Amino acid sequence: MNEPILQMKNLEIDFKTYAGTVKAVRKVSFDVFEGETLAIVGESGSGKSVTNQAIMKLLPQPPAIYAGGEILFGGNNLLEKSEKQMERIRGNEISMIFQDPMTSLNPTMKIGKQITEVMLKHKKISSGDAKKRALELMELVGIPSPKKRLNQYPHEFSGGMRQRVVIAIALAADPRLLIADEPTTALDVTIQAQILEVMKDVQKNSRTSIIFITHDLGVVANVADRVAVMYAGEIVEIGSVDDIFYNPQHPYTWGLLGSMPDMNADKKEELRTIPGSPPNLVDPPRGDAFAARNPRAMKIDFEKSPPMFEAGKDHYAKTWRLHPDAPKTEVPEIIRDRYIQYNGGDQ
């Protein structure tokens, strides 16, 4: 693979609150390569959104504190950039798609203006040309009769259409990296699929890298090249889609997969949930953050935080399970079945 365009190294982010300092992101590291889609999955509060807003440096300070680590974008540490320099990067080289299209557009500004604004800010372009380009973009993201739509306000758009507008805005300046923060969560399932198609098309044409944040594994399977699983502010497992779906190593990933309905499953099977709730990050556990919810937790899981163990080529997991001394624990049946199916070449 080529050089990563984004390297995150041991990023730590704290939040000062009345209740104490919340360690929201704890030593997170990952790379994003050109043209790939990296999905970050995890339940709410796992730190995935915070990590990604940190890339844009959009976290309000205070209460957020960049407590350590670095974010290298094209080799430069974004955390050292001034606000002015960041302005040149935001929307231009890195852009972002927000979760809720209902609230992420300015209600009192025309759609056209909200799209052209990015271009006018970052590209040397006349407003006429910007408008032309906006029309192209709207067509690209599948907004019918864009000419008319250009002069409308957000409230005249449906949710799906608004999200298309948001994507158009994100693409307007041809960014190298696109961060999509749960872009389909707020949408109907049918609309979801359309939006995903649009994003895939866009990526095919532009070789833009995408970080795709979601808690929906179905979506991940659909769009991602690689997957990082986050839990309690840490990445607990990272690998290719196949690694994560068919050969997951971390018990949390099992739990996550176990709670996903399997379309291919022949057997009647109940959906499983993970018992317990995530730890309080004001005072994070000493050992494996997931230990308290892991039915097969070992003594050491409560005492010492595990390192990243290599589980295969470009596949790592943060669990003592992979320690050579650890007893061989069984992969849950449902995951094993899937693995067998996969290797059996059903697909």
Residues 321-340 that bind other proteins (CB under 8 A): 323, 325-327, 329
Task: Give the pairing type, strands 64-73 and 37-41.
Answer: unpaired
Sheet holding 226-231, edge to edge: 94-97, 177-181, 209-214, 37-41, 226-231, 234-240, 315-317, 309-312
Q: Which residues contact 2 (CB under 8 A, 6 or more apart)?
A: 33, 34
Q: At closest approach, how far in Å is the CB of 337 from other proteins?
A: 23
The residues in 18-57 that bind other proteins, with binding defined as CB under 8 A, are 18-19, 29, 56
Size, binding site for other proteins by CB under 8 A: 71
190, two tokens = 């049918």
> Among residues 3, 58, 132, 207, which is the contact residue for other proteins, using CB under 8 A?
58
Q: At closest approach, how far in Å is the CB of 37 from other proteins?
A: 19
Contact status: 90 vs other proteins (CB under 8 A): yes
> Among residues 192, 320, 332, 335, which is the contact residue for other proteins, using CB under 8 A?
320
**Is 298 exposed, middle or buried, given 0-12, 13-18 or 19+ CB atoms closer than 10 A?**
buried
Contact status: 177 vs other proteins (CB under 8 A): no
Contact status: 307 vs other proteins (CB under 8 A): yes
Q: Rounded to an integer, what distance in angstroms lies between the CA atom of residue 186 and that of residue 179? A: 16
Q: At closest approach, how far in Å is the CB of 200 from other proteins?
A: 22
Q: Rounded to an integer, what distance in angstroms lies between the CA atom of residue 227 and that of residue 230? A: 10
Q: At closest approach, how far in Å is the CB of 156 from other proteins?
A: 8
From the list 4-12, 216-224, 269-277, 333-341, the region that binds other proteins by CB under 8 A is 269-277
| Residue whose entry in the numeric block shows the structure tokens 């992969």 | 331
Contact status: 303 vs other proteins (CB under 8 A): yes
Q: Rounded to an integer, what distance in angstroms lies between the CA atom of residue 96 and that of residue 90? A: 8
Contact status: 76 vs other proteins (CB under 8 A): no
The residues in 136-165 that bind other proteins, with binding defined as CB under 8 A, are 151, 153, 155
- Would you say 157 and 191 are in contact if contact means Cβ atoms under 8 Å apart? no
**Is 129 exposed, middle or buried, given 0-12, 13-18 or 19+ CB atoms closer than 10 A?**
middle
- DSSP letter for each residue of 23-91: EEEEEEEEEEETT-EEEEE--TTSSHHHHHHHHHT-S-TTTEEEEEEEEEETTEEGGGS-HHHHHHHBT
From the list 72-80, 104-112, 138-146, 209-217, the region that binds other proteins by CB under 8 A is 104-112
Q: At closest approach, how far in Å is the CB of 344 from other proteins?
A: 30
> Among residues 100, 216, 225, 262, which is the contact residue for other proteins, using CB under 8 A?
100
Contact status: 278 vs other proteins (CB under 8 A): yes
Q: At closest approach, how far in Å is the CB of 280 from other proteins?
A: 6
Of 169, 171, 168, 166, nearest in space to 182 by CA = 166
> Among residues 65, 79, 193, 300, which is the contact residue for other proteins, using CB under 8 A?
300
From the list 70-78, 193-201, 257-265, 309-317, the region that binds other proteins by CB under 8 A is 309-317
Contact status: 259 vs other proteins (CB under 8 A): no
